[in-house]
Amino acid sequence: MHTRTASPGFGLGLRTDHYLEVLAAPQAVDWFEILSENYMVPGGKPLAMLDRIRRDYPMVMHGVSMSIGTPEGPGDDYLHDLKKLMQRVQPLWVSDHLCWTGVHGRNMHDLLPLPYTEETVKLVANNIRRVQDTLGRQLVLENVSSYVSFNSDSMPEWEFVAAVAEASDSLILLDVNNIYVSSFNHGFDPLDYLKGIPSGRVQQIHLAGHSNHGTHIVDTHDHPIVDPVWDLYAAALRRFGQVASMIERDDNIPPLAELVAELDVARSIAQRVCAETQRPRMETFA
């Protein structure tokens, strides 16, 4: 049965640009999310830095190459290395993406969308259960941004995400920016997406920036978060409660202080939403 971990607050993606700043002084960050593949190595500076930083901060592992949506599923070697890193880091949870990233052992280094069909639900759920059995814990899977759809789609994306989570007893990493990007590209209401996700399965929320090209939006993680995404984040918190939230920045990386300031915006929104939901309603009398 699914068990969502209690929210540990607000995190940031750990990037090499910020190693020294993180080590130099305490940061207003509750936890860091690491890109798993960067540390699935036999040794070297990345692991040495990780070992030092994790003494002071909890960690979350987030992968980009599991390719849970391929028919054969993740390779045994990949899962062996992932489990070895998990045992070293002792993360709060382990996540990856609800997508495929390559075929026949060849990684295309992109997060490619899946057809939203019952057949895909069954295939992906079987792969997830195998991964969960190997790791000995639930897997958390993220919705990806998309720019094309399949003619074979038989359900909207949010129904597909929910069905996979229920069929595999896995948890959801809800990327609010990805929802916004895909809603713009495909013309659906992002609030419908939120309504279709089972609240008890949302383990974490991602926030990020994107590049708006007028006719379409690309999920680039190289800009500050825009107001419509902040608004959608507030709506997500109203639906799902105080879920662990973090900011991703993968390019045009600013000084750590700028990202911590942006994280403070997320904190303030969460505090405002919490105050709204706890405020007693005024009774009216006829």
Indicate whether 19 belongs to any domain: yes
How many domains are there within the chain? 1
Instruction: Tell me if the pTM is above 0.85.
Output: yes
Choose the weakest-confidence range: 2-6, 31-35, 66-70, 258-262. Answer: 2-6
> How far is the C-alpha of 165 from the C-alpha of 68, rounded, in Å?
13
Burial degree of 53 (CB within 10 A; 0-12, 13-18, 19+): middle
| 3-class state of residue 46 by DSSP | helix
pLDDT band at 286 (very low <50, low <70, confident <90, very high): very low
The tens digit of pLDDT for each residue in 233-260 reads 999 999 999 999 999 999 999 999 999 9
28: containing domain: 10-278
pLDDT of 7:
66
What's 140's domain CATH number?
3.20.20.150
pLDDT of 3:
60
Indicate whether 1 belongs to any domain: no
Instruction: Name every residue whose Cβ is closer than 8 Å to that of residue 250 and which is 6 or more positions away in sequence.
Output: 13, 15, 220, 221, 222
Indicate whether 164 belongs to any domain: yes
pLDDT of 282:
40
> How far is the C-alpha of 224 from the C-alpha of 237, rounded, in Å?
20
The tens digit of pLDDT for each residue in 72-94 reads 999 999 999 999 999 999 999 99
Instruction: Name every residue whose Cβ is closer than 8 Å to that of residue 107 and which is 6 or more positions away in sequence.
Output: 65, 67, 101
Choose the weakest-confidence range: 81-90, 108-117, 261-270. Answer: 108-117
